[in-house]
Structure 1
Amino acid sequence: MGRNEQALIATCWTTAGNVRPDQVDNLSRWRLEDRIEAAARAGYGGFGFWLGDLIAWREQGGEYGALCRHLSDAGLGIVELEYLSDWFAQGERRERSDAARAELFRAADALDARHVKVMPPFSNQGWARAALAEQFAALCADAARHDLLMALEMTPFSDLPDLGSALDMVVQADAPNGGLLIDIWHVVRSDSAVAAIADVPARFIKAVELCDAELAMRGSITEDTMCHRRPCGEGAFDLPGFVAALARAGYDGPYGVEILSDAFRALPLDEAARRSFDGAARTVGAIAPDARNQ
């Protein structure tokens, strides 16, 4: 499949329906085929898969080749896979992570995936940044054999809690196919400056995610993250400033759209796809072509 790098990606939770990523039972009740078609009808150019949904697809007799043909028929040329955790760990955690890595790479080969989302150590586990950089460099070298980008998502509830610390780690790793996934949600909630994104070298920005919300956090960080995001244009985030800063940094890749909220999860599939796409398309389209030169 060809990769239109300017497209919007329907990330996996945006089309998953009424399930939460942080719950044990987090498999979508909607068929992957229906989700792909809804994303295409809405206007998306890319689609994101949750590893759990892919494993369930295979266990039910599905083949990645058929899924690839379905994506191609729908015109969805960019594929994102989510996510890999514990790539830095040891013992049983690392064994589970390595099994997930193998399945993600198998899916990536079959689906011609662009990138895999990579998670830092959650809950402030105390990992040294140099050790993470060494493991991330090794992970990226492994992924390079599959023509994959590895996009580390900075999250405020992790050992890489802000833009500066996450950037420092990937710079230390210095992998050509490794860098950051910059999600406006985590930028705002970590108190990182949106304008500072303009100073991130473009080579270290591998993926981007959009959503909206109120500026004030509601409840715990977990509740806020999982329950109160909104489609672009329906909150108070500085989305135009975010996209303009990325343009000044030189980023010209796709934008994922990730909406995690109780209200959004209750929407019918087609409405969720259309509403999420329309808000994000207005956001990205509102930036003048010469924004990177301002």
Structure 2
Amino acid sequence: MDRKKAELIATCWTTAGDVRPDHADNLSRWRLEERIEAAARAGYHGFGFWLGDLVAWREGGGDYGALRRRLIDAGLNIVELEYLSDWFAKGERRERSDAARAELFRAADALGARHAKVMPPFGGQDLPMELLAGHFTALCDEAARHDLLIAMEMIPFSDLPDLSSALELVRRADAANGGLLIDVWHVVRSGGAVADVAEVPGRFIKAVELCDADLAMRGTIAEDTMRHRRLCGEGQFDLQGFVGALGRAGYDGPYGVEILSDAFRALPLDEAARRSFDAAAPFCAIAAGTAGQ
């Protein structure tokens, strides 16, 4: 039986260069056109945009329609948007979030985005699960009007620190276009086993990310996640087991490649795109072979 070929997305940080998402000045120094072309030359099927880069592009006179045409010409047919936070908040935080949400949906319409990443709450806010689920349902309902999937990332240093708590939220929300983004780094650092992913119903897995790392954490968890990830196959994570578990769960969507490390950020753009794709592609092939098993 023919199987759908698994596809790889160059997530926004894979082509961003020497900038970090946790720093205030986190806009890429490389032009979006150059990054799109580098991802396409490397062999990627999709491209991820940081919302801040998109806003800077538009405010600098760029046109989202022209950007969409570049993606099409480059053969990049999967678009990811990153990210929306505080979708559950009140007051000024919610006002800022709603402004970002409007821009995100505007970009999604123009670029034909597949999914958008959203962040869980942080800082021990102790928000009731029913409250979060209601806000998530509302967000997904609005996103559905833009043909957009909403993928909440499970992050071990957030208020939803493991697969079980993150899954509880999306189960309660029960939105057809809403679910989880599962990053192998977060699964391992949460203390979970990659095999646990097989127990997540496939309908609740909306996006996936690959990277590698040492099993032993280096520094704090924040330092480890931002500075010490490795190219796929160059660390100690069981990536084969991870994609196998996703296949057993029924996931057959694209795989994002997200390499956050000091060494990777120092690479020239074309080398970063090529090396990240070449390292992840063998695991992409495994994913294609296990989907639906």
TM-score by length of 1: 0.96
Task: Please state whether the residue corresponding to 2:182 is helix, strand or coil.
Answer: strand
Quick one: which amino acid aligns to residue 259 of structure 2? I
CA contact (8 A) 2:197 2:246 kept: yes
Indicate the residue corresponding to 1:48 in structure 2: 48
Q: CA deviation at 1:260?
A: 0.3
1:94 deviation in Å?
Answer: 0.1
For the pair 1:239 / 2:242, whether they are aligned, the reply is: no
What do the CA deviations read for 1:192-235 (whole angstroms, capped 9, x no partner)?
A: 12111111111100000000000011111110110000110110
Q: Secondary structure at the match of 2:156?
A: coil
Relative to structure 1, the CA distance from residue 87 to residue 270 in structure 2 (aligned partners, 3 Å threshold; closer, same or farther) is same
The answer as to whether partners of 1:240 and 1:284 remain within 8 angstroms in 2 is no
Given residue 106 of structure 1, which amino acid in structure 2 is its aligned partner?
A: R
Show the counterpart of 1:218. 218
Question: In 2, are the aligned partners of 1:5 and 1:254 still within 8 Å (CA)?
Answer: no
CA contact (8 A) 2:244 2:290 kept: no
Code of the aligned partner of 2:166: A
Partner of 2:128: 128
1:163 is aligned to 163
CA contact (8 A) 2:151 2:181 kept: yes
Q: Contact conserved, 1:124 with 1:157, CA < 8 A, in 2?
A: no
> Following the alignment from structure 2 to structure 1, what is the Cα–Cα distance between the partners of residues 192 and 51?
29
Q: Does 1:284 align with 2:272?
A: no
2:101 pairs with 1:138: no
Q: Residues 144-195 of structure 1, C-alpha deviation per residue, up to 9 Å, x if partnerless?
A: 0000000000001111000000001100000000000000010000011211
Name 1:201's counterpart in structure 2. Answer: 201
Q: Which residue identity does 1:40 align to in structure 2?
A: A
Query: Structure 1 vs Structure 2: percent identity of aligned residues?
Result: 77
Q: How many residues align?
A: 290
Which residue of structure 2 aligns with residue 27 of structure 1? Answer: 27
Which blocks of at least 5 consecutive residues in structure 1 are unaligned? none
Gaps of 5+ in 2: none
Correspondence for 2:273: 273
Contact 1:5 1:253 in 2 (8 A): no
Paired residues of 1:178 and 1:204 also in contact (CA < 8 A): yes
**Paired AA for residue 138 in structure 1:** A
Distance verdict in 2 for CA 1:176–1:287, change over 3 Å: closer
For the 8 Å contact 1:121–1:159, the answer to whether it is kept is yes
Report the 3-state secondary structure (helix = DSSP H, G, I; strand = E; otherwise coil) of the residue aligned with 1:276. Answer: helix
In the TM superposition, what is the alpha-carbon distance from 1:5 to its structure 2 partner? 7.7
Q: Which residue of 2 aligns with 1:112?
A: 112
RMSD, aligned CA: 1.2
Tell me which residue corresponds to 2:12.
12
- 1:288 deviates by 7.2
**Contact 2:154–2:182 (Cα < 8 Å) also in 1:** yes
Counterpart of 1:37 in structure 2 is: 37
CA–CA distance in structure 1, aligned partners of residues 150 and 291 of structure 2: 27
- Secondary structure, counterpart of 1:86 in structure 2: coil
